[in-house]
Structure 1
C-alpha cells in the first residue's frame, strides 16, 4: 500500500474527528455559558456537543481550560471582524460597527474572563487584551487619519469606555440603554466632524 501525504487515511480521519469534537465542544460551551454563566454544567455542554463527558475532559481537563478556550475563540472572532472592517470604505462606519461588536462581546463575556482566572487559567493561549487593543488601534488610527475621529483619543480610552458601558448595564437584559450609551460615546469620538477636538 502506498503511503499518502500526511499519514494514512485512518489517522487523518481520526485527527479530523478530534478537531470536529473540539469545535463542537467550544460552540456548545459558548452557547451554554451565555445562557447559564461560567458555572454552567459541563455535562450539559458535552450533551449539547453530542459527545461523552470523557471526550470533553480529554480536550479540556478543567473548567478553566474550557473557559479559556471559549474566551480565546471569541476574541479571535472579534479581531477577525476588525480585520474585515478595515477594508470598509468609511473609516467611521468601520470603527462604529466594531465598537458595537465589541460592546456585544463585552456584555456576553461579562464575568467569563474573571471566572477563567479564578478557576486557575492564569495563561490563555493568546493575549486577549493586547489583541483587542490592536484591533481598536487599527480602526481608530484610520479614522483619525481621515480627520473624522478625535485626535486625542487612544485605543485604551475606547476600550475602557465600552467596557464601562458593558459593566454598568450588565444586569439589564434590554440592550436599549447600552446602545444609547454607546451612541453618546460615538458622538464624542466623532466630535472632530463638528469642528471640536481634532
Structure 2
C-alpha cells in the first residue's frame, strides 16, 4: 500500500539520514514510486542529490584526516579512509570523461582516481608515486559508478616506500587494478 506524501517524505528524510549514499533509484524502489517523485520530494525537503551528499559527508569526515594532499584534489569522492591501511572512493563517469566516438571512459580518469587514492591513504605530509603497475581490465562508460579501494600491502622503511594495491569495480566487476609504490618522507615506524 502506498504511503501518503507526508509519511513518504518523513521516511525519506530518515532513510537518507541513516544512509546518505542511497541513490534515487534505490529510494524509488523502496518507496514504490518513480525516480522523478523521489527527486521532487528531495527538492521540497531541500535534500541535495547523491553526489552533493557524498561530497558533504567526505569533506566533513575526512578533510582533516588526509595529510598528503587537499581532499578536493582527490579524484572521486572519498567515502572511507583509515590512513596507512585502506581507503575507498566513488567516481561517477560523465559524458565529459569519455571518448565521443565510442563512449568509453578515458583511462587517465580511472588512473587519476586510483593514484590520488593511493596518495591519500598515506599517513604523511608528502606522498609521491614512485612506480605503478596498472591494468585496465574492462571498459568503463558514461553513467558508470566506479568504486575504488586502495589497500596498503607493505612498507619498506629504509627506502621510505609503501606499497598500495588499488582495485576499481563497476557493478561488482573489476575494471582496473594497480599496484603503486609510494614514496613518503618518513618510514612507517616514524609516523606521529
Q: TM-score range by the shorter chain?
A: 0.3 to 0.5
TM-score by length of 2: 0.33
| Structure in which a larger fraction of residues adopt strand | 2
RCO higher in 1 or 2 (8 Å CA, sep ≥ 6)?
Answer: 1
